[in-house]
Amino acid sequence: MRMTRRPNGMGDLVDLVIEDERWAALDMNALAEQAAGAALNVAGITPDYEICIMACDDARISELNSQFREKPTATNVLSWPAFELSPEVEGGQPTPPPSAESLGDIAIAYETCAREAVEMGITMQAHVVHLVVHGCLHLLGYDHETDKDATLMEKLEVKALASMGVDNPY
């Protein structure tokens, strides 16, 4: 497996690590930048941060899911926030991130994303944009563990996706 990395220059929000060549056909750089920017925008956060996104395959995300969540299966997206920003009350707004270089890391798996897109009858690009938005919101302290938290997070996802012309996935 070859890994390529796009250097993060001034003004770039996403530092993209491509571990699986199939991602190249999607123009993952542009998709990730657009989706991450939309997620931060709807959350009211200026894009003065960096988010590292690893575009990998199911085997790699299975390893990560096993290592960090003790779930030895593939999943579509994982996130590792740099800060604990979760709200103190259910359905509340997370704490804004401190000034720092990185908000955290996201991994996204090609095969799972491709299969889910087919199952939902949407384009791979639309699904990837949704998952990057979803992962970025996790980095910002949003979650979907309770109904109130899920309602807030989904509302932001739908708003971010609409700003990019992507239909409501819910």
Domain ranges of the chain: 4-163
Token pair in block for residue 108: 């996204």
Helices (H) and strands (E) in the chain, counts: 5, 5
Averaged pLDDT, groups of 10, the chain, 170 residues long = 38 90 92 97 92 98 97 97 94 91 96 98 97 98 95 97 95
- The Cα 162–Cα 160 span in angstroms is 5
CATH T-level topology, domain 4-163: Collagenase (Catalytic Domain) (3.40.390)
pLDDT reported for residue 12:
86
Q: Which of 10, 9, 53, 61 minimizes the C-alpha distance to 35? A: 53
pLDDT reported for residue 99:
86
